[in-house]
Amino acid sequence: MLAPEQLADATGSGALAAAPSPRLRFSPGAVLVPALSVAAALALWELISRTNTISQHDLPSMSTSFSALWSLLQTSAFWGALLRTIRGWALGLAIATALAVPCGILLGSFELVGRAFRIPIEFLRPIPSAVLIPVLFLTLGTNLKSEVFLATFGAFWPLLVQTMYGVRDVDPIALDTARSFGLGPLERLWRVTLPSAVPYIATGVRISSTVSLILAFTAELFMGIPGLGQKVNVVSSFGQTDLVFAYAIAVGFLGLAIHLAFSALERRALRWHPSQRLGTT
């Protein structure tokens, strides 16, 4: 498996999302210590299970779980489910972005619009999206539409709020300067507001990418929509514990891959931003 190497590699270059990493120089400790730590944890898992500290029936050993995952990887059913989950996630995130960014710009640019929708947003945002599952059962049914709706709904809010804050945080002097140079409202939006809101939007996209995956998976798990979630539901109701663990490991790696990819994207978007220029202040 690619587990420990991948993890060590990822964390060695400072994978913690927003934290700027001034130490980009290669140091052996930055790779060895995390790698050993992962190896030790996997060995501990094996030990706990093999010695029946936790019964092997409840906690399949590390080797059993990974070999179950390995044989899953040989099946087309697994890859089909993975692709369906990725499809639900991607559609949810894309639609949420297409909706949330314009709405956020609107709410952030006009104070009155922002105030008008403050209470509905404050109220809707903390609502756990999972409460919509029964409603989706009744309306859209157990299909991709429900999955995408749920993922979109969940991913919409963090992105909306981030965009709104980003637009509000634009330097007023820059806006006034642009105005005095005779830039129209659309041009100001394009040349001043959007570029300076990009770091906020990038952070919003990173948060939403995770939320979208969680909700796509949740929809599959709870509603039986085809995908990794449905697989977990099936193997757990058949009591195939080793497969439950194998799928969980796979879902974890999918989550990790998305998280790392979007953290990298966020760092790219933030590169010019003062918060990233460590050491110049």
Is 218 a binding residue for another protein by CB under 8 A? The answer is yes
**Cβ of residue 151: shortest distance to another protein, in angstroms?**
11
Provide the greatest CA pair distance for the chain.
Answer: 76
Is 217 a binding residue for another protein by CB under 8 A? The answer is yes
Is 168 a binding residue for another protein by CB under 8 A? The answer is no
Neighbours of 134 (CB within 10 A): 11
Is 201 a binding residue for another protein by CB under 8 A? The answer is no
Task: Report the residue number, 12 or 166, with the smaller CB distance to another protein.
Answer: 12
Is 204 a binding residue for another protein by CB under 8 A? The answer is no
Q: CA nearest 127: which of 143, 102, 150? A: 150
Question: Token pair of 37, please?
Answer: 């730590």
Task: Report the residue number, 138 or 186, with the smaller CB distance to another protein.
Answer: 138
Is 172 a binding residue for another protein by CB under 8 A? The answer is no
Footprint (CB under 8 A) of another protein, residues 220-259: 221-222, 229, 232, 236, 241, 244-245, 247-248, 251-252, 255-256, 258-259
CA atoms within 13 A on the CB side of 3: 19
Q: Report how far residue 141's alpha carbon sits from residue 240's, in angstroms, rounded to the nearest whole number.
A: 28
Q: CA nearest 35: which of 2, 65, 59, 61? A: 2
Is 138 a binding residue for another protein by CB under 8 A? The answer is yes
**Cβ of residue 181: shortest distance to another protein, in angstroms?**
27
Is 33 a binding residue for another protein by CB under 8 A? The answer is yes
Task: Report the residue number, 67 or 194, with the smaller CB distance to another protein.
Answer: 67
Q: Give Cβ neighbours of residue 237 (< 8 Å, ≥ 6 apart).
A: none
Is 122 a binding residue for another protein by CB under 8 A? The answer is yes
Q: CA nearest 88: which of 271, 254, 245, 266? A: 254
**Cβ of residue 191: shortest distance to another protein, in angstroms?**
26
Q: Are 204 and 100 in contact (CB under 8 A)?
A: yes
Number of residues that bind another protein (CB under 8 A): 64
The alpha carbon dihedral of 169, 174, 180, 182 has a sign of: negative
CA atoms within 13 A on the CB side of 94: 7
Is 134 a binding residue for another protein by CB under 8 A? The answer is yes
Is 58 a binding residue for another protein by CB under 8 A? The answer is yes
**Cβ of residue 10: shortest distance to another protein, in angstroms?**
7
Is 173 a binding residue for another protein by CB under 8 A? The answer is no
Buried b (16+ CB within 10 A) or exposed e, 249-261: bbbebbbeebbbe
**Cβ of residue 117: shortest distance to another protein, in angstroms?**
6
Q: Give Cβ neighbours of residue 154 (< 8 Å, ≥ 6 apart).
A: 92, 96, 129, 208, 211, 212, 214, 215
The contact set with another protein (CB under 8 A) reads 4, 7-8, 10-11, 15-16, 19, 29-30, 33-34, 37-38, 41, 54, 58-59, 111-112, 115-120, 122-124, 126-135, 137-139, 210, 213-214, 217-218, 221-222, 229, 232, 236, 241, 244-245, 247-248, 251-252, 255-256, 258-260
